[in-house]
A = this chain, B = another copy of it.
Amino acid sequence: MENKKTCVKLGLIQTHAEKNPKDNLYRQMGLIREAAKQGAQVICLQELFNTIYFCTEYNDKFFNWAEPIDGELTSSLSGLAKELAVVLVAPFFEKRATGIYHNSLVVIDADGSLLGSYRKMHIPDDPGFYEKYYFTPGDKESGFKVFETRFGKVGTLICWDQWYPEAARITALKGAEFIFYPTAIGTLASESKKDKKEFREAWETIQRSHAIANGCFVASVNRVGKESGTQFWGSSFVSGPFGQVLAKAGEKEEILVVECDLNDLEKQRQTWPFFRDRRIDVYDDIKKRIID
């Protein structure tokens, strides 16, 4: 039996945001170079990477920051991906049409070609996270996504999606070897110390559970810094296919480069053959809001 060793190095860029989108773009292009220098092959930026997390307030001026999928932002990143021969996962505020905006990301292959985009399917709306005002949820037709890149099959979800086992499951069933979760999550000053600790643990636990249930790698990329009263907690991490935390960042700016062995997926799914025993005949009720 062939025992091919296929290691892929993931790079997670955890950083703060500055007021001016262009500054964020140029600075993070530098961080991408740095990650590539450290050997990263698939590099993921945080949610809405080139802007502050503007959903802390209702303000229509922020719609001016939205860009089309095939705009300048993507073209700058495509050039960089090609130059460095790395895959890029870049989340940003998309203008799809006048009046239709999405919380999206693009995946660019290591030759600079645009493989496609994913539009956040689950949109939150909570104090300090007013996303339903800004973002149309992703369409059923575009749906969940996996991209065949030079370095592996990259599944992509965004932030709030991370709380939904359905999203991870479908992405895994589509063949994802890695699931990336670019994120903007933090705590408000009003939350107790106990709550803050529980929130962070729950955030890590649910994402590790997607790795476990689906036998794939999970990489979560969160921002840092304080913006309008929200303290983003960083703590970006990569989980192995049985929920092992392979590496985890702190709460400051950090580039996390983590090697993942694709052979681990084969071994994992043979040792713990969850996919074999799924009762696909009895899952209809998943599609109900509540069973009452």
CA distance A121 to B285 in the complex (A): 15
**Within the oligomer, what is the number of copies of this chain?**
2
CA distance A242 to B200 in the complex (A): 10
Q: Which of B144, B175, B198 contacts A282 (CB 8 A)?
A: B144
B165/A165 in contact, CB under 8 A: yes
CB distance from A166 to the nearest CB of B (A): 5
CA distance A278 to B199 in the complex (A): 20
CA distance A173 to B170 in the complex (A): 19
Most chain B C-beta atoms within 10 Å of own C-beta, residue among A125, A174, A208, A209: A209
Most chain B C-beta atoms within 10 Å of own C-beta, residue among A167, A199, A286: A286
B287/A275 in contact, CB under 8 A: no
B121/A243 in contact, CB under 8 A: no
Q: Chain B residues near A16: list those with CB within 8 A.
A: none
**Chain A interface bracket (under 10, 10 to 19, 20 to 34, 35 or more):** 35 or more
**B-contacting residues, A202-224, CB 8 Å:** 202, 205-206, 208-210, 212-213
A212/B202 in contact, CB under 8 A: yes
**B-contacting residues, A141-172, CB 8 Å:** 143-144, 160, 163-167, 169-170
Q: Which of B124, B202, B213, B244 contacts A206 (CB 8 A)?
A: B213
Q: Chain B residues near A201: list those with CB within 8 A.
A: 243-244
A140/B281 in contact, CB under 8 A: yes
B279/A121 in contact, CB under 8 A: yes
Q: Chain B residues near A284: list those with CB within 8 A.
A: 287
B287/A280 in contact, CB under 8 A: yes
Q: Chain B residues near A287: list those with CB within 8 A.
A: 280, 283-284, 286
Question: With A205-B205, A213-B206 known to touch, is A286 a contact of B160 (CB < 8 Å)?
Answer: no
Which residues of A does B touch, CB under 8 Å? 121-126, 137, 140, 143-144, 160, 163-167, 169-170, 173-175, 198-199, 201-202, 205-206, 208-210, 212-213, 242-244, 271-275, 277-292
